[in-house]
Amino acid sequence: MTVHVLGVRHHSPACARVAAWLLDEVQPSTVLIEGPSDFNERIDELCRLDHELPVALFHFRGGGGSRRASYTPFCDTSPEWVALRWAAKAGACVRFMDLPSHSDAFFVSENRTADRVDRYAEAMRALCERLSVDGSDAAWDHLFEQPDTPANVRERLDRYFHEIRPPGHPAPGRDTEREAFMAQCIAWASERPGDVVAVCGGFHKSALEEGWPTAPTTWPEPPPRSTDNVGTYVVPWSFERLDSFTGYAAGMPSPGWYQALWEQEPAAGAEAMLAACIEALRARKQPVSPADHIAVHVQLRGLMALRGHTSPTRIDVLDALCSALVKGALDVPPPWTRRGPPLAGTDPHLAVIVQTLRGRRVGRIHPGTPRPPLVQDVHTQLEAHDLVPTAAPRTVQLDLDDAADLQRSRILHRLRVLSIPGFRRAEGPEDPTSTTRSEQWALRTGPRLEPALLEASQWGPILEDAARARIAEAMEEADRLDERVSLLVDGLFIGIDELAEEILGIVQQAVASERDPGTVARAVRLLLAVWRHRSAFVPAAHPVVGDVLQALMSRTIQIASELRGGAHRDHLGFGIAARDLLRHGPVDGHDRGLALATLRRRVSDPVAPIDLRGAALGILHDAGDDQSERASLAVRGVALEHLGDWLAGLFAVTRETLGRSTGLLDAVHERIADLGVEPFLEALPALRLAFAWFPPAEREALGAALLQRLGRGDEALQLAATDVAEEAAGLALEQRVEALLAQHRLLGGEA
Amino acid sequence: MSEPDELQRPPAELRFADELARLDADDPHPKPKGWVRSPRAVRAFVLGDRTREITPKFVGHASLVDRAMVALATHRGLMLVGEPGTAKSWLSELLSAGISGTSTLVVQGGAATTEDQIKYGWNYALLMSEGPTPTSLVPAPLYTAMEQGRIVRFEEITRCPLEVQDSVLSMLSDRVMAVPELGDDGLVYARPGFNLIATANTRDRGVNEMSAALKRRLNFETVFPIADREVELALVRRSSSEALTEAGVPEPVPDDLLEVLVTTFRELRAGQTEDGHVMNRPTTVLSTAEAVSVATAAGIQGWFLHGRTATARDLMGSMTGAVVKDDLDDLKVLRGYLEQQVSHRSGGAWSELWEARTELPLDP
């Protein structure tokens, strides 16, 4: 009996080839693979069903506040996949040897197979420096993804992983538990007849080799489950999600590239991918002349010679394309010089190239594969809440004041968020803080329902999670505060508690980069409403909304301190937002002090927009710092052509208080009374705007008081004369208000 | 030539002569025609090689250096673009010293650059007495580089008038320069090893106005600010203390101040704090070179004016000068940064910087 521990990098074609070679050479009777041991009973779903790769094992753990999901992806170039299929074909005993997927040890990081490389950044950095390459991916390709005999590659792999983590080096965090478990599995296998091949992440290799000879030889007991709501399913996966450029930490970048190298001879695969890049660029109308094409090849040969490559590596091809095709300055470094998604501002040529090397393949699971839990969860929830769609359209009327109906509304909104066809909202409140209390839905089943649910299972195992994850992702993709806030509004319909911190955190990020006062004002208006008012969808103030509002306060201060230029309508809404934040928002003493200091500076700042200056004074007054005298003084000081805009800013925030100050109105009157006709007409539009903040009744009272003082009180009656149509509209509005008040039993006294 | 020690700034090939000698002693790799050493040796010279005690001289992406060398080994010229202070000229100097053994064939681009400063001029006394002969011709860097098969450097090429930029076109494509005054003998064919490294600064009149014909003959490489904070900090620490020693200041700038300086520069440059808060960016370029000069100025101010090591106040003074250059709005950006970010940070040097905000000039 011999035990072979093969350390690999997930999804590496070189490692997949070594695995195939080793298995053929050794012909083991037991094959152990780093993977969730709780799936062993169903391992045939992977070994024997014919899936179209990539697919993934989708793990979830529910219950309480620790609901989590993770994935173990497989593609053709995964050494683990090669081992699984080899064992099934050869009739060897095959088992996953890692802790069960629900173990706490996995939920420290998001992906089960997250690279350990970053934890050993120092070793990696030294290696990259020695090889003169940018980063671990380039180093990997240089060392391993070159044509060579499997035996040589294996020997180099062993040396590499030895350097990354020398023997005797303890594993970080919870990996110790995993390694003990895996070592015991190997010890168990070593007692069985025949040889053993164990395939694990290269990071664990030395620890397993050291650990198994002294480990107990029984199959290890799995740790107890903290909840019964756990599961693992085979789900379709895609190259996009496999690509580390899209954020999957354990991925190899550019899965399409490695797939090509796997399916063809390395040189032919590289040539095909290069041609695909040129074609993709031309398809997008990016000019690539024959001379450019030649230059790419010349550059590629030169880079290969310099770097000592017999076959082009991914970086060689990318570098050659970059050299030959980019004819200008780049705004951000090429995406392959760092890990993670490409930065904003990546050159369009390079973005197309990276996308081409990623590939578009989307996996499909065998029809006989057990379905993921979301499908079941949705059907169960629909049945329990009497929402099962029928072939003939069916209408559901919901009273949102009824707890059961509100719950049904949430379920339907979650399905809507996931774009599941057949659940259409016909009527209902547009805004989750609205007081509309009813909704109408049209339900209808169809052939697209089931596939849509299957696909939506990528977002989560149960409906609530899936809907939330979907919104979170849409938020990540949206780059403007506007879009994110409207997604947030959308999200409130599924319940604010489900909009966990991550989602509000994303909104918060957008806040920090927003420069438009109008957008900030709209965000403040909505979020303050969510913070302060209760509605069917928003039952209580949520602390994270408070955090976003604090960020908005900081942003408001920043914008208020920087705005310059002429008056703009948005400045008025912005002033109101700033006032309301200071009045009602969760603003701490530091920010409050900073805000007031900024406003004080801007009141008399000659480069500040004139309406902002008026608003700044008003907000200071509103914040309890009496400005009535200063306001009168300012009215006398402001240039006439700016008076209207200045007053508009002031009245936008202080109509109820300073707007009634007789001193201020006297000062305005003094300025206007002396005007000739021409200047008056010039000042009129802005003045009208300023006084438009007063409702008609207040305007009338203002006018009457003014006439009184001028000794023309008898003309006051004429002010009230208005258009009949307007009057009728007013009466109608009044009736509606009364009806609403009556409906909610708010007409005090008379009842 | 004088000894390097006696020069204010010796060129790279003199300053690192011993390293180049070490590399030449063991350079078995193939050399492109006309190169004095192999691309791998040049790469070791530029990026450093611990095993042979070759110091790293350029901090940046290794793949950029690879691509640049391959471009130079082919018939395409190399164009280094990037923000000011990203060591483009330094990289160009290192590459030409490594590849052709000399980095001194330089054309400095500017509004007043003329063709005769690039190609050739005449010794007018000889021209009058002898007429146009090879003896009366005064070769300019491009001529010499072609004749000797070396690299010519064209600094700040985009600052030259477009027609002057285009005067190098035929030399880049046909690799021949015509001197019509010399008649039939007046063709200078480039020897192997000749090529051109141009640099241009993205904040100047960018590369967009450059003619398509010239662009096509150049491989563009963008040089970026240093990505790694620790590496940048180490570079600022080393360079500023060297500069201070040179200036006769015995005390280097304290490390916590340097950290504050480098963090501030990096955050303002990126328009984002290290913990991910997005904020405004100033219009000025906050390069590593600028950080070194800010640190040096603070050290000099502290020592010569106050007789002590630099403090946050000294730093604030020179930092304001670096951030606010020709756009007064940048002062607001800096003030905003101090108020929004620095005011929340604890820790000695950050608090000192916050205290030192009073050094900021008032808004105009």
Integer Cα distance of A239 and A75 in angstroms: 9
* Residue A725: per-residue pLDDT: 75
Count Cα atoms within 13 angstroms, Cβ side, for B189: 4
Interface test with A, best of B58, B66, B83 (most A CBs within 10 A): B66
Q: DSSP code of B301?
A: I
Q: What is the mean pLDDT of chain A?
A: 84
Report which DSSP code applies to A44: H
> For residue B173, is pLDDT > 50?
yes
The span from the CA of A654 to the CA of A111, in Å, is: 54
**Residue A443 three-state SS:** strand
Look at residue A109 and tell me whether its pLDDT is greater than 60: no
- Say whether B227 and A512 touch across the interface (CB within 8 A): no
Q: Which of B39, B202, B277 sits opposite A306 (nearest CB)?
A: B39
> Which stretch of A326-340, A609-623, B158-172, B252-266 has the lowest confidence by average pLDDT?
A326-340
**Degrees, nearest 5: CA angle A477-A478-A480:** 150
Mean pLDDT of A542-560: 85
Cβ partners under 8 Å of residue B84, min gap 6: B201, B203, B285, B287, B289
How much is the pLDDT for B106?
Answer: 94
Q: Do the Cβ atoms of B216 and A327 come within 8 Å?
A: yes
Contact check, Cβ <8 Å, B215/A513 = no
> Mean pLDDT highest for which of A27-31, A241-245, A487-491?
A27-31
Q: In the predicted model, what is the mean pLDDT of residues A217-241?
A: 81
> How many Å apart are CA A507 and CA A496, to the nearest integer?
14
Distances (CA, A) of A371 to A73, A229, A461: 17, 16, 11
Q: B259-293, pLDDT tens digit by residue?
A: 989 999 888 888 888 877 778 888 888 888 889 98
Query: Which positions in chain B touch A557 (Cβ < 8 Å)?
Result: 339-340
Measured between CB atoms, does A343 come within 8 Å of chain B? no
Cα of A79 to nearest chain B Cα, Å: 29
Pairing mode, strands A30-36 and A93-98: parallel
**Predicted confidence band at B216 (pLDDT cuts at 50, 70, 90)?**
confident
Q: Give the number of residues written for chain B.
A: 364
Burial class (CB in 10 A: 0-12, 13-18, 19+), A280: middle
Tell me: the pLDDT tens digits for B68-116? 999 999 888 999 998 888 889 999 999 999 999 999 999 998 888 888 8
Cα torsion at A383, A385, A391, A397 (round to 10°)?
170
A502 pLDDT band (50/70/90 cuts)? low
Alpha-carbon distance of A450 to A310, in angstroms, equals 49
Segment A715-739 shows an average pLDDT of 75
Question: At residue A298, does pLDDT exceed 80?
Answer: yes
In this prediction, residue A69 carries a pLDDT of 67
* A226 close to B (CB below 8 A): no
Question: Is pLDDT of B245 > 90?
Answer: no
Q: Is the pLDDT assigned to residue A265 strictly greater than 90?
A: no
Residue predicted with more confidence, B314 or A123: B314
B4-222 CATH, one of 1.10.287.130, 3.40.50.300, 3.40.50.360, 3.30.830.10: 3.40.50.300
Rounded mean pLDDT, A649-675: 83
**Cα separation, A706 vs A665, whole angstroms:** 9
Residue A65 has a pLDDT of: 41
For residue B268, what are the CA distances in angstroms to A86, A126, A269, B323, B335?
Answer: 55, 29, 44, 9, 11
Report the C-alpha gap between B258 and B252 in whole angstroms: 10
As a whole number of angstroms, the longest Cα–Cα distance in chain A is 115
Question: Which has more confidence, A479 or B20?
Answer: B20
Q: Give, for A290, the enclosing helix (H) or strand (E).
A: helix A290-307
What is the four-CA torsion angle of B141, B147, B148, B149, rounded to 10 degrees?
90
User: How large a percentage of chain B has pLDDT more than 70?
Assistant: 96
- At residue B221, the 3 state secondary structure works out as strand
Task: State mean pLDDT over B351-357.
Answer: 83
The pLDDT value recorded for residue A66 is 46
Position B44 pLDDT exceeds 90: yes
Within A308-407, strands assigned E span 394-399
One-letter amino acid identity for A627? Q
Give the pLDDT band of residue A750 (cuts 50, 70, 90): very low
- Residue with token string 């609403």: A740
* Contact map slice: A 567-606 vs B, CB within 8 A: 590, 594, 605
The closest of A184, A188, A233 to A69, measured between CA atoms, is A233
Contact indicator for B112, B157 with CB cutoff of 8 Å = no
Interchain contact, B340 vs A558, CB within 8 Å: yes
Alpha-carbon gap, residue A534 to A531, rounded angstroms: 8
Structure confidence at residue A182 as a pLDDT band (50, 70, 90): very high
Which residue type does A682 have? E
Residue in A413, A439, A418, A444 with CA at minimum distance from that of residue A428: A439
- Contact assessment for residue B196 and residue B78, using Cβ atoms and an 8 Å cutoff: yes
Give the 3-state secondary structure of A136-188: HHHHHHHHCCCCCCHHHHHHHHHHHHHHHCCCCCCCCCCHHHHHHHHHHHHHH
Structure-derived torsion over alpha carbons of residues A306, A312, A315, A320, reported in degrees to the nearest 10: 70
Instruction: For residue B158, give both structure tokens.
Output: 């985009």
pLDDT exceeds cutoff 60 at B208: yes
- For residues A317-349, one letter each, b for 16 or more C-beta atoms within 10 angstroms of the residue's C-beta and e for the rest, the string is bbbbbbbbbbbbbbebbbbbbbbebbeeebbeb
pLDDT (mean) for A414-442: 84
CA–CA distance, A110 with A118 (Å, rounded to integer): 14
Q: Tell whether A130 is within 8 A of chain B (Cβ).
A: yes
Greatest alpha-carbon span in chain B: 77
Report chain B's terminal Cα–Cα distance, integer Å: 52
**pLDDT for the residue A156:** 93
Upstream peptide bond of A54 is cis (omega within 30 degrees of 0): yes
Confidence of residue A108 (pLDDT cuts 50, 70, 90): low
Nearest to B67 by CA among A338, A132, A129, A141: A132
**A298 and chain B: CB distance < 8 Å anywhere?**
yes
Please report where in the chains the tokens 């990354």 appear, as a residue. Answer: A164
- CB-based contact B97:B12 (threshold 8 Å): yes
**pTM as predicted:** 0.69
Which stretch of DSSP H or E encloses residue A282? helix A266-283
**Are the CB atoms for A520 and A481 separated by under 8 Å?**
yes
Helix (H) or strand (E) holding B188: strand B187-189
Complex ipTM > 0.90: no
d(CA B37, CA B25): 10
Counting residues of chain A whose pLDDT is more than 70, the rounded percentage is 91
**Cα(B69)–Cα(B39) distance, integer angstroms:** 7
Nearest to B175 by CA among B149, B198, B197: B149
Q: What is the CA radius of gyration of chain B?
A: 24
Q: What angle, 0 to 180 degrees and rounded to 10, lies between the N-to-C axes of helices A290-307 and A266-283?
A: 140
Q: Which residue has the higher pLDDT, A557 or A678?
A: A557
> Is it the case that residue A129 has pLDDT exceeding 70?
yes
> A246 to chain B, minimum CA–CA distance in Å?
19
Is B40 in Cβ contact with A134 (below 8 Å)? Answer: no
What is the rounded average pLDDT of the residues B317-340?
Answer: 83
Cα–Cα distance measured from residue A254 to residue A264, given in angstroms and rounded to the nearest whole number: 16
Share of chain B above pLDDT 90, in %: 36
* Average pLDDT rounded to a whole number, residues A365-384: 86
Highest mean pLDDT among A116-125, A496-505, B84-93, B328-337: B84-93
Cβ within 8 Å, pair B208-A328: yes
Comparing CA positions, the residue from B54, B63, B57, B67 lying closest to residue B87 is B57
Mean pLDDT highest for which of A436-450, A457-471, B94-108? B94-108
Mean pLDDT for the stretch of residues A272-280: 93
DSSP string covering A88-111, please? HHHT-EEEEEEPPTTSGGGGGSSS
Tokens at residue B264, please?
């501030």
Average pLDDT over residues A122-130: 82
Cβ–Cβ < 8 Å for A306, B69? yes
Judged by CB atoms closer than 8 Å, whether chains meet at B227 and A326 is answered as: no
Burial class (CB in 10 A: 0-12, 13-18, 19+), B352: middle
Contact B279 A512 (CB under 8 A): yes
Residues in chain A: 751
Helix (H, G, I), strand (E, B) or coil at A441: strand
Residue B63, pLDDT > 50, answer: yes
Q: What residues in A contact B219, CB-CB < 8 Å?
A: 299, 323-324
Q: Decide if pLDDT at B2 tops 70.
A: no
